Chain A
Amino acid sequence: MELNYEKLGLRVGFEIHQELDTHKLFCNCPSALRDEEPRLEVKRRLRPTQSELGEVDRAALAEALKGKGFRYQLYPDSVCLVELDEEPPHLVNEEAVDITLEAALLLNAKPLDEVHTMRKIVIDGSNTCGFQRTLLIATGGRVEVEGKSFRVPTICLEEDAARKMDEGVGLIDYRLDRLGIPLVEIATGPDFFDPYTPAKAALYIGQLLRATGKVKRGIGTIRQDVNISIAGGARQEIKGVQELALISTVIEREVQRQLALLEIRDEIRWRGARRVVKKIIDVRRVFSKTSSGVIRSALQAGGTVLAVKLPKFAGFLGKELQPGRRFGTELADCAKLYGGVGGLFHTDELPAYGISQEEINGLRRATGAVEGDAVVFIADAKEKAEAALSAVVDRANQALGGIPEETRRALPDGNTEFMRPLPGAGRMYPETDIPPIAITPLRLRQIKARLPELPEKRRARLMEKYGLGKELAERMSLSENLELFEELARKSKANPTLIATTLEETLVSLRREGVRVEVIQKAVLEGLFAGVAKGKLAKEAVPEVLRGAARGVSVQTAIEKLGLAVMEKAELRKLVREVVAGNRELIERRGRAAIAPLMGILMERVRGRADGKLVHQLLERELKKRGAK
């Protein structure tokens, strides 16, 4: 069903976080991720700090309630005391500031006169300090994509968070290798009204950033957060969409989720539901002879079974919000997060999981549930189950009011799950350890003077100057190999399209085969293309020569040893005749249609020593001679 997004009042904005290719933002450690087992581990805790009214921020409180400790993994040779929050931050990495200024100028934004480092409170442990340092660098950007203009209100430079490696009941493991890597954060206005344009805009911004040549590439080096709201719904911040292709799905599914939640709200109000009371009841006795494995093992471990009644909620817990995710799943998210429990049971999905109708009846009696009421219950340690059910009641009460503003995590299929309430505004205060940075006019002039070509201009130039096709030009315009390509094209007389495909396609597929293409020197490529230009080898031989070069065989030797030197025309003609003669039956049966299979056989025999076009020509002539129709 296609929704009318305009009518629904869909508004979307997004943030792009791109890692910069320079050392860490506040220390001299390399911005390198580590895969091997960590050398050291350090355990810490964080405490919410008091804000002006003596209240801790609601998101900060949510984390604190979870009562988790954090275990930080580190490598003494690439993580220092700054990441460990045992040494004050060093001065800001000026190269990172320059790259961000460059990005800001490319996005038509205005750099600030003076930049201040701020502390943004984040106490989920992903930053050892309990805050993320962030600097607003420029404001008021504007970009146009496919004729649509959108705002880029802020361009920030911030430190990346530690990588979450594992989460246990009382402990979260983080790896400090990523903490402190400089990120440029580009936020658009809520200027998109359909699920599809944001991905295109994100793609374009990603291209602009890569054009600077100073950003990291590869999985995880660019991340998108998407802000979504619909009329009558609530703003959701969806974190960590790693693939552009997923953005539109995430938006579609969020709209779907909000519409379903609004439906639940309306129906539940119509049924006359009131605020749910936190009356948590011990129902262990109901399950004394249960055949549910989950409940039995919880009881054996000294736990209990607690239940709470959600009056008039029957049927809604099983209602699907997103494919495979029900309202009950949302409740379970909260229970897991705040209670640290493994999950919950609710009457909408029962009897099942070894829980009998008899037990359900007992449960209903114990909680005083009547027709139309739902019951949620959890088998676990008492305190955990209590905290979890309390969170479930809070979430159910929110449903009466509609949709809570949340920070949600993007799942690989485009669904989202609850992470924490949307942080309140103004969880920021100045980083007193770092002085403000003045952005001088001189500095801006120097950056302006070396701004890279915009991707669309570069693409046009590659098409015009080198005759590359649109797709190849597009690919080359964003490639790390651009500089190399232009140099090779300038130096050799080989066809630029061949050079571009070699760099962008041949080398890539050779690498996939396991060929060590990274050892191939520039000089090899120069020799290779010079050879092709002079007709010493056919372009078909390029992969074979590169395979040799990866093993240290020179171009000349490769040509000689592999017998790759171009075949004499006479020799080639002889080969064609031989093949045609050997496949007479095929030719008689298929006529001219035999050309394709014959070409396959010939090229296999030629093994790159002749130009395919020439082979084709000779084959056609031979067939014509034999009167194939």
Chain B
Amino acid sequence: MSSYRGKVQQLLRAASVEVGDRVRVEKAGSVYEGVLMPRTELGDPNHIVLKLASGYNLGIKLGKGAKLVKLEKGKPPRLGIPPLKIKRDPSKPDVSIVGTGGTIASRVDYRTGAVYPAFTPEEIYSAVPELADLANIRVIEACNVFSEHMTPELWVKVGKAIAKELNAGARGVVVAHGTDTMGYTAAALSFMLKDLFRSVVLVGSQRSSDRPSSDAALNLIGAVTVAGKSDIAEVCVVMHGSTEDDFCLIHRGTKVRKCHTSRRDTFQTINDIPIGMVRGGELKLFRDDYNRAKPKGRVKVDGKFEPRVALLKVTPGMPSSVIEGMLKAGDKGIVLEGTGLGHVPESLFEGIKFAVGKGVPVVMTSQCLWGRIDMKVYSTGRDLLQLGVIPAEDMLPETAYVKLMWVLAHAKGVEEVSKLMRTNLAGEITPRTRPDVFLKPVFSLKAGD
């Protein structure tokens, strides 16, 4: 694979040089010797990249007066990790890892600087040897996309792969997923997997697994522990619980949200406390109101989703034409992320009325994220209730969005949509708001501060 183009590509061809070959470039009195590296599409097209023996990469502009000589044909990359052959241990639980496209483990070829994902159980064991003490690992790939490219169809594909593994006897399933839309997938699986009798654990990493400081290993160990040991028969997310490499939190799939662009502890349970935590292979549960695992069972995938649903963040002065446009585009349901307790500007009333009139349900969540919708306190709320807006309690906007997709594909008529949206189906609505669940300090200050 060479990403060189144009004139540089011609020069390379003329010298019969390919990526991976060792070359010498002489230019303006300087001599550089190294291995020709591939170039990213974004770079300036007139440069070539060499990796020097010292390990450094550098770019050389191949202009007039530059002389390029091939010194040695490139060697094909040697990718074989000596496979860590591990025999299945019948005393250990069988845990299946379902891949979706994120890399949970990887290794670096320092000769070329390329990063290779680990795919087979052997490769994963080699990267995270602790897993061998926890479970017998099986790896399947459900899809191969970045998490931002996930779709409702792919949610179903992942759901089917999970069900197949559980129904074939896996003690639990770990889903390796990119973090961006992990919350959406977790919610979708929560509504889709019926009669779930084992743990389904989504896991990812905020620091890529090719770096020594990656959070991937601790997260994966945590996820496999939950899948292999716990009696939680729910869809959950297991990720770093703090900025330290200490413990992971077990979040309920419908109450969890990515809250930080880059931190390890980006995932937070909103409006509730997590189910528990896992530290050093040990589980500690914070609550007992979760579905218990059963020795036997059969998961069914109820994977019908109405994809034509929109999630709209309300802003001051937003005109009704926004909603009218959505309806014109064919949306069958709208989740509003309203202000405060669940309000919108008057300018949006017309649009809402129009949608409800057309039989398109409008669901209200809050852009505050924390707290519960209450539309009876102020007149605007009462007006909106009058218009037929469905309050979504303390549901996360993203969860409400996924739920509305699922509900629309299952309910007969607006009445039932409204009823289902207000009914707790998969832990997405908590009946009471705990006083201890708002923006905990992320660092614990040292004593005395």
Query: CB within 8 Å of B: which residues of A?
Result: 38-54, 57, 60, 69, 81, 84-88, 110, 112-116, 118-121, 123, 128-131, 134, 136, 139-140, 154, 156, 425-430, 435-436, 438
The answer for the CA separation of A87 and B211 in the assembled complex, in Å, is: 14
The answer for the CA separation of A453 and B400 in the assembled complex, in Å, is: 68
Q: Contacting A43 at CB < 8 Å: which of B57, B107, B211, B244?
A: B244
Known: A86-B243, A428-B56. A129 touches B211 (CB 8 A): yes
Q: Are B56 and A50 in contact, with the CB atoms below 8 A?
A: no
A121 CB contacts on chain B under 8 angstroms = 212
Q: Contacting B29 at CB < 8 Å: which of A43, A48, A110, A123?
A: A110
A40 CB contacts on chain B under 8 angstroms = 443, 445-446
The answer for the CA separation of A213 and B59 in the assembled complex, in Å, is: 29
A136 CB contacts on chain B under 8 angstroms = 52, 54, 56-58
Interface segment, one of B8-16, B108-116, B281-289, B416-424: B108-116
Known: A50-B127, A119-B211, A426-B111. A86 touches B262 (CB 8 A): yes
Q: Are A39 and B80 in contact, with the CB atoms below 8 A?
A: no
The answer for the CA separation of A441 and B69 in the assembled complex, in Å, is: 25
CB distance from B294 to the nearest CB of A (A): 36
The answer for the CA separation of A435 and B59 in the assembled complex, in Å, is: 12
**Pairs A-B, 10 closest by C-beta atoms:** A130-B212, A114-B59, A50-B107, A428-B55, A54-B81, A429-B113, A116-B57, A136-B56, A46-B212, A113-B61
Q: Give the residues from 263 to 306 in chain B that come closer than 8 angstroms, CB to CB, to chain A.
A: 263-264
Query: CB within 8 Å of A: which residues of B?
Result: 28-30, 32, 42-44, 47, 49, 52-61, 77-82, 106-111, 113-115, 126-127, 207, 209-214, 217, 243-246, 261-264, 443, 445-446, 449
The answer for the CA separation of A332 and B42 in the assembled complex, in Å, is: 52
Q: Count A-B pairs with CB separation below 8 Å.
A: 162
Known: A43-B246, A49-B107, A429-B113. A81 touches B263 (CB 8 A): yes
Known: A54-B81, A425-B53, A428-B56. A110 touches B212 (CB 8 A): no
A425 CB contacts on chain B under 8 angstroms = 53-55
Known: A44-B244, A139-B30. A85 touches B207 (CB 8 A): yes
The answer for the CA separation of A290 and B295 in the assembled complex, in Å, is: 58
The answer for the CA separation of A76 and B246 in the assembled complex, in Å, is: 21
Q: Contacting B82 at CB < 8 Å: which of A54, A57, A426?
A: A54
The answer for the CA separation of A624 and B57 in the assembled complex, in Å, is: 80
Q: Are A426 and B59 in contact, with the CB atoms below 8 A?
A: no
Q: Are A84 and B243 in contact, with the CB atoms below 8 A?
A: yes
Q: Are B55 and A427 in contact, with the CB atoms below 8 A?
A: yes
A116 CB contacts on chain B under 8 angstroms = 49, 56-59
Q: Are B110 and A427 in contact, with the CB atoms below 8 A?
A: yes
A41 CB contacts on chain B under 8 angstroms = 446
Q: Are B110 and A85 in contact, with the CB atoms below 8 A?
A: no
A54 CB contacts on chain B under 8 angstroms = 80-82, 107, 126
Q: Are B210 and A49 in contact, with the CB atoms below 8 A?
A: yes
Q: Are A131 and B446 in contact, with the CB atoms below 8 A?
A: no
Q: Are B55 and A120 in contact, with the CB atoms below 8 A?
A: yes
A88 CB contacts on chain B under 8 angstroms = 262
Q: Nearest A residue to B448 by beta-carbon distance?
A: A37
Q: Are A430 and B107 in contact, with the CB atoms below 8 A?
A: no
The answer for the CA separation of A85 and B215 in the assembled complex, in Å, is: 11
B261 CB contacts on chain A under 8 angstroms = 87
Q: Are A426 and B110 in contact, with the CB atoms below 8 A?
A: yes
CB distance from B335 to the nearest CB of A (A): 30
Q: Nearest B residue to A119 by beta-carbon distance?
A: B211
Q: Are A51 and B59 in contact, with the CB atoms below 8 A?
A: no
Q: Are B59 and A115 in contact, with the CB atoms below 8 A?
A: yes
Q: Are A430 and B213 in contact, with the CB atoms below 8 A?
A: no
The answer for the CA separation of A128 and B264 in the assembled complex, in Å, is: 13
Residue from A49, A57, A120 whose CB has the most chain B CB atoms within 10 Å: A49
A130 CB contacts on chain B under 8 angstroms = 211-213
The answer for the CA separation of A81 and B127 in the assembled complex, in Å, is: 27
Known: A139-B30, A428-B55. A39 touches B213 (CB 8 A): no
Q: A49-B107, A130-B213 are in contact. List 10 more A-B contacts (CB 8 A).
A: A52-B77, A52-B110, A54-B82, A69-B245, A115-B58, A123-B212, A129-B207, A136-B56, A428-B54, A430-B57
B111 CB contacts on chain A under 8 angstroms = 52, 426
The answer for the CA separation of A42 and B77 in the assembled complex, in Å, is: 38
Known: A86-B263, A430-B113. A43 touches B245 (CB 8 A): yes
Known: A116-B49, A427-B55. A85 touches B77 (CB 8 A): no
CB distance from A284 to the nearest CB of B (A): 30
CB distance from A444 to the nearest CB of B (A): 12
B30 CB contacts on chain A under 8 angstroms = 110, 139-140
Q: Are A112 and B58 in contact, with the CB atoms below 8 A?
A: yes
The answer for the CA separation of A81 and B261 in the assembled complex, in Å, is: 11
The answer for the CA separation of A136 and B53 in the assembled complex, in Å, is: 13
Q: Nearest B residue to A127 by beta-carbon distance?
A: B213
CB distance from A171 to the nearest CB of B (A): 12
Residue from B211, B213, B264, B449 whose CB has the most chain A CB atoms within 10 Å: B213
CB distance from A39 to the nearest CB of B (A): 6
Q: Are A87 and B59 in contact, with the CB atoms below 8 A?
A: no
CB distance from A81 to the nearest CB of B (A): 7
B445 CB contacts on chain A under 8 angstroms = 39-40
Q: Nearest B residue to A433 by beta-carbon distance?
A: B208
9 CB-based A-B contacts, threshold 8 Å? A42-B244, A42-B443, A49-B209, A86-B264, A114-B43, A114-B60, A134-B56, A139-B32, A426-B110
Q: Are A118 and B44 in contact, with the CB atoms below 8 A?
A: no
Q: Are B115 and A129 in contact, with the CB atoms below 8 A?
A: no
Q: Are B212 and A42 in contact, with the CB atoms below 8 A?
A: no
CB distance from B24 to the nearest CB of A (A): 14
B212 CB contacts on chain A under 8 angstroms = 46-49, 60, 121, 123, 129-131
The answer for the CA separation of A115 and B111 in the assembled complex, in Å, is: 19
The answer for the CA separation of A50 and B217 in the assembled complex, in Å, is: 13
The answer for the CA separation of A110 and B61 in the assembled complex, in Å, is: 14
Known: A48-B212, A114-B61, A154-B54. A39 touches B446 (CB 8 A): yes
Q: Are B60 and A129 in contact, with the CB atoms below 8 A?
A: no
Q: Nearest B residue to A88 by beta-carbon distance?
A: B262
Q: Contacting B44 at CB < 8 Å: which of A39, A114, A426?
A: A114
